[in-house]
Chains A and B, each alone.
Chain A
C-alpha cells in the first residue's frame, strides 16, 4: 500500500517538473480562430481610428489655421523633465506634466505632440517654459520666447529641450 503511494507521489512530482501544460491546453482550433478574428477587428478599429483622425483634423483644425507644436528632448539628454508650459501670444495653450513613462519615451527619442490648435495667418509669439530637475538635484525653470509666422498652410513647430547650461536656457525651436 505504502509502496504504491510512494510511486504515485513520485510520478506526480515528475509530472509537475516536466511540464506546466496538460490541463491548461486550450482548445487549439477555437483559440486560433478567435485569435484571427481578434486581429481582424483590431485592423478594423485601426481603420476607424485613422478615418476619424482625418475627419477630426478637417473639422477641428482646418489647414488654413492649424498649428501643431511638438516637444522632443535633445540627444543624450537625461535630465528630469517635470512639466512644459506653452503660451501663444500670451494665452496659455497647454501645460503638460510628465509621467515617468512619458519622460522615458521622450528620452528614448519619442516626440510628443504637445498642442494642436488654430491661429490666424500672420505673426505670433510662442513662449515655452520648462520645469525640471538638474542632474545635481536642483530644481530649475527655464523660459524662452520665439516669434513665428503662420501662413496659409498648416504650421508645425518642434521644440527641442536640453538641460539648461551656462548662457543657455536649453530650449530650441525648429520649423518643420
Chain B
C-alpha cells in the first residue's frame, strides 16, 4: 500500500497515521481478541482497547496461562494493545506496551516490528534521539513489509536532526523503492539542499519531477518537486531556468496556484510581461480565498500597469479591492462566530464527523465560521492534535454521561431483587439446612457401604452377606447351643449333633453363595452410586441457585457508588480539559484569521493606492492622446 507522508516545512516526514493494520492471526483462537480486532478494524479504538485490555489482564491472572485461549496470541495481543493505544493517541501507554514487547524474549520479527513502532512514536513526539535508539534495536530478521519503512523513517529522523549527509546515504538506497520511490526521491533532493549540495539537489529534484505515475499522491509529490526546484532557481535569480519547472506542475493539482503565481513573477523578472499576464489571469479567476489567488489579483493589474494599459489595470485593482473587502467581511464574521463558540459547536456535531470530508461539510453548516482560511491550520500537526483531543474528550463525555444514566437503573434492579429474595430466603434456608443434614447422613452411609465392599474384596466374610432371615437363624442356633451347654449336653448328645448339622447347612449356604452374593451387593452399590450422583447434582444445583440469588443483589452497592463517583469526577475533569482545549483552539483559529485579515488589509491598502495611481496615469495618458494634434 502506498502512503502519502505529511509535508512539514517542505520535507516529507511520516507523522500521523503511522501504524499498520492491527495484527491478525490466521487461525484465531481467542474470540475476545477477535472482538477487539472487530472494533479496531472499524476505527473504534476506545472499544477495542477496553476489550483487549480486560482480556490481557484476565490472561495474566490465570494460574495456567497455557490453557487459556489467548495464550497463542498473547504477544500479538500485547503488541496490538500498544498499536491501539497509539492510534487512540495514548502515546504514554503505547510506548510502555511496546517497550514490554521489546524487552520480552520474542521472535526477531515481532521485536523488530515493535522497535519500528516505538521509533515512530518517538519520532511523532519529536524525540529524535530516542527514535534512533529504537531503530538501532532492529537486528536479525526484519518483516519484509516494513524493511523500507524502517529505512525511510531513519532517513526522516536524520533530516529532522539536520544531519542531511547521513540521511542522503539512506535515501539514495531507497530512491528506487517501490513503496517510497517518489517520496524518497523528493526527500533526497531536499537532503541535498540541506547539505548544501545544490547541483545534486537540482538534478535529484529534476528526476523526482519527471517520474511516470498515475498515483494521485505521487503526482502531487512530483508537482511539489517541480515547484521547489523552480523556487530554488527563482531564489538565485535563475528566472529563465525556473519557468519550465513551474510549467511542469499540473494545472489541476494542489500546487498549481503557487506554480502559476511563481511562473508569473519569473516572467516579470525577465521583463516578459505579456507572458506573466497569462498565468496570473488564470490564477486571478480562481477561488478568492486562496492566498496565491489573492496575490495574483494584485499582481495582474500591476502587470497591466507595466504594459501601460492603465485603464484595465484600474479595473482589475477595483475588482481586487472589492474581493478583498468581501473576504475581510467574511473573516470578521468568522472571527465573531468563533468567539461565540460556533466553531467548537460545529466541530462536535456527530453528522459532521462521520463524513470523511467533514472539514468541507463544516463550511456548509449555517452559522459556523468560514473554515477555508483554517484549512492549512486544520492540517497542521499541532492543531490536529489539539482538535483530535477536543473531539476525543467530547466522545468520552458522551460515553460517561450515558453510563451515569445507567447507575440509577442498576440500583433499582438490585433493590427489586433484594425485595424479592429477602422474604423468601429464611424459609428456603431452613429447608436447606434439613436437606443438608439428611444429605450428609446419606453420604456417610454410602461411604460406609463402599468401605465394606472394599474390605470384603480383600478379606472375605460370608456372614456379612447373610440375609436378615439367615442372621436370625444363626443367632437362634447360637442361643440354643448355649442353652444345651448350660443344661449339661455333651457334643455327642443327639440334640447337639442335630444343632451342628443345622449350623453346617447354613454355613454351607453362606460359603457356597458368597461370590454370587458379593456380585449382587456390588451391583446394588453401583446403582446406589448413580442415585447418589443424581442427588449430589441436585444438591449442587440447589447450592448454586441459592448462591446466585444472593449474588444477584449483594455486593453491588459499593462498586456502583464508587463508579458513580469516578464517573462524576471524570466528567468534571473532561469539562475542564474541554474548556481549556477549546479556548486554545479558538484562540489559534482566531489568530490565524486575524493574520489572514491583516494580509488582506495590506493587499487592500496597496490596491487602493495603485487604483488611484492607475486612474491618474490613465487620465494623463488620455489627456496626452487628446492633446495630440
Contacts and interface: CB of A to CB of B under 8 A. Distances in A.
Interface of A: 2, 5-6, 9-10, 12-14, 16-21, 23-28, 30-31, 34-39, 41-56, 58-59, 62, 64, 70, 72, 75, 101-102, 104-106, 108-113, 121, 152, 156, 158, 176
Interface of B: 7-10, 21, 24-26, 28, 31, 34-35, 37-43, 46, 49-50, 53-54, 57, 69, 88-93, 227-228, 231, 234-235, 258, 261-262, 265, 268, 291-292, 295, 298-299, 302, 305-306, 376-377, 379-380, 382-383, 385-386, 389, 392-393, 396, 399-400, 403, 410, 413-414, 541, 544-545, 548, 551-552, 556, 559-560, 563, 566-567, 570, 573-574, 577, 580-581, 584, 588, 591-592, 595, 599, 606
Contacts of A58: 551, 556
A-B interface, 3 closest residue pairs, ranked by CB to CB distance from nearest: A111-B34, A110-B38, A105-B41
- Per DSSP, chain B at the interface is helix
Contact of B382 (A12, A26, A38): A26
A51 B558 CA distance: 12
A112 B35 contact: yes
Contacts of B382: 24-26, 28, 31
A104 B44 CA distance: 13
B299 A9 contact: yes
B581 A108 contact: no
Q: Is the interface of A mostly helix, strand, loop or mixed?
A: helix
B73 to A, nearest CB: 11
23 contacts: A6-B265, A16-B258, A24-B376, A34-B386, A37-B577, A39-B91, A41-B574, A48-B400, A55-B559, A62-B548, A62-B551, A72-B28, A72-B34, A101-B41, A102-B42, A105-B38, A105-B42, A109-B28, A110-B41, A111-B31, A112-B38, A113-B31, A158-B31
A39 B89 contact: yes
Given A6-B268, A24-B376, A70-B35, A34 B584 contact: yes
B548 A70 contact: no
Nearest to A54: B54
Contacts of B383: 24, 26
A21 B380 contact: yes
Given A38-B577, A42-B90, A75 B10 contact: no
Contact of B392 (A23, A24, A42, A70): A42
Contacts of A34: 386, 389, 577, 580-581, 584
A24 B574 CA distance: 25
B31 A176 contact: yes
Contacts of B606: 5
Contacts of A9: 265, 295, 298-299
Contacts of A113: 31, 35
A20 B15 CA distance: 15
